[in-house]
Structure 1
Amino acid sequence: MGWHSDDLPEGHEGYVVAVLADGTEPPAIRTPRKAADGREYTGENSAWWLYDGREGRPRAFAVKAGCACGWRSTDMFPVDFQDWEATDGFEAGDGPWAAWEAEHVGRLVGGRIPDDVADTIERLRVQLAALADSRPLAAVEAAARVEKLGTARLQQAVTSAVRDGASWTSIGTATGTTRQAAHQRFSKVPF
């Protein structure tokens, strides 16, 4: 069983990955299994604890964090075959779990607009379009207010992102521009 986060898009489930002494990941182990209908078949399993050196299996030298999307942490962590929770790090908030949360989930969620905010923006877009059709001058005033509010909040958000260590490349991506354009536009304000 892996780690999940409600904030993540589909295809992101974190888990512990076994690492061999040469730094590679071992191939999946083929094991006999039984289907719900009782039919037997051979399945593949790559759970880190299977790589314990017994029954001809390779022995894990270390573990690292992995994600179903293919991401892997660069840091490796010690293996304790007697204490799966210590190896996993979930209960203590360290090890592979912490690496997955900080390095992968943090990057994915950090730049993702929360659903409630995205819904509010979409509702406002629809309302302004309807207002432009029925009362154009009121729509001009409303859009001008939104623009002024948006500009101020954008600068505030960039300032916070820079303080949190965001790169100009990531800020450029978030604003739909280049690193250089983002830097030129927003770096004039003291942080």
Structure 2
Amino acid sequence: MGWQREGFETHVGEVGVLLADGSEPGPVYFDLGSGSHFHESTDWWVYDGSLRRPTATSMRGKCACGWRGEGTYPIDWEQVDRRDRDAYDTAGPLKDWEAHLDDVAARTVSLPDDVEGLLRTLRERLDELVDDAPLVVLKAAGKLETLAADYGSIAARYITGDAVALPEVAEALGTTEKAASSRLAHYTYLNHR
């Protein structure tokens, strides 16, 4: 599942590993029996050297966006409980990833305080209603989709019309260039006015 922060869906983090030579290994493949499908994993704990797998010597934070933490933390395989891998201390890589997300968030465009407040209030109110009045919440969701289609489309056309560079759009939104491009395309063609 990885580490996640609301609003930064393209920045899923996890523990990455390094081999003794400093390289990052590729996925480990598992043959689960007959068939042409092989399960693959990049979970840090599969690089324990067993069954001819590579042996990781250190771990670091990594993010789905391509970021890799500079800090490395040694892995003591004698201390890794094979039955409870989550008990092993991975706080260093997590802290590094959180710092990466703080940096990403600091470079995003800020919402005006009143808009941020309205969104927070709306979320809280819908959370109160969802159990007892799901039809009301569904109706509100439809109205929100209409607003998003209307204003997202206008904003996307302004951005593309002004030829804002994709890296700038991605940074402002706190996402990857691929996701920013997809969002722009989605809203550009969602609602033509």
TM-score (ref. length: structure 1): 0.51
The 8 Å contact of residues 79 and 87 in structure 1, kept in 2 or not, is answered as no
Counterpart Cα distance in 1 of 2:17 and 2:29: 16
Alignment of 1:110-129 (within 5 A): 110-113=106-109, 115=111, 117=113, 119=115
Paired AA for residue 3 in structure 2: W
Q: CA deviation at 1:113?
A: 4.0
Is 1:18 aligned to 2:17, yes or no?
Answer: yes
Q: Which of 43, 67, 71 is matched with 1:71 structurally?
A: 67
Q: Which has the higher contact order (CA 8 A, sep 6+)?
A: 2
Query: Deviations 1:87-117 (Å, cap 9, x if unpaired)?
Result: 553xxxx310001111x10111123245564
Q: Which of 99, 104, 108 is matched with 2:96 structurally?
A: 99
Q: CA deviation at 1:55?
A: 0.5
Alignment partner, residue 2 of structure 2: 2
Counterpart Cα distance in 2 of 1:87 and 1:63: 12
Counterpart Cα distance in 1 of 2:74 and 2:49: 16
Alignment of 1:1-191 (within 5 A): 1-8=1-8, 10-32=9-31, 41-81=37-77, 82=80, 84-85=85-86, 87=88, 89=90, 94-102=91-99, 104-113=100-109, 115=111, 117=113, 119=115
> Secondary structure of the equivalent of 1:105?
helix
Q: Per the alignment, do residues 45 and 118 of structure 1 end up closer, same or farther by CA in structure 2, a change over 3 Å counting?
A: farther
Counterpart Cα distance in 2 of 1:6 and 1:118: 20
The 8 Å contact of residues 33 and 42 in structure 1, kept in 2 or not, is answered as yes
Q: Per the alignment, do residues 25 and 87 of structure 1 end up closer, same or farther by CA in structure 2, a change over 3 Å counting?
A: farther
Please, which runs of 5 or more residues in structure 2 have no aligned partner?
117-170, 173-193
Counterpart Cα distance in 1 of 2:15 and 2:24: 11
Alignment partner, residue 120 of structure 2: none
Counterpart Cα distance in 2 of 1:29 and 1:13: 20
TM-score (ref. length: structure 2): 0.50
Counterpart Cα distance in 1 of 2:22 and 2:98: 22
> Secondary structure of the equivalent of 1:108?
helix
Q: How many residues are matched?
A: 113
Larger Rg over CA atoms: 1
Alignment partner, residue 144 of structure 2: none
Alignment partner, residue 128 of structure 1: none
> Secondary structure of the equivalent of 2:101?
helix
Please, which runs of 5 or more residues in structure 1 have no aligned partner?
121-172, 175-191
Counterpart Cα distance in 2 of 1:115 and 1:86: 39
Paired AA for residue 12 in structure 2: E
Q: CA deviation at 1:42?
A: 0.9
The 8 Å contact of residues 18 and 25 in structure 1, kept in 2 or not, is answered as yes
Percent identity of equivalent pairs: 36
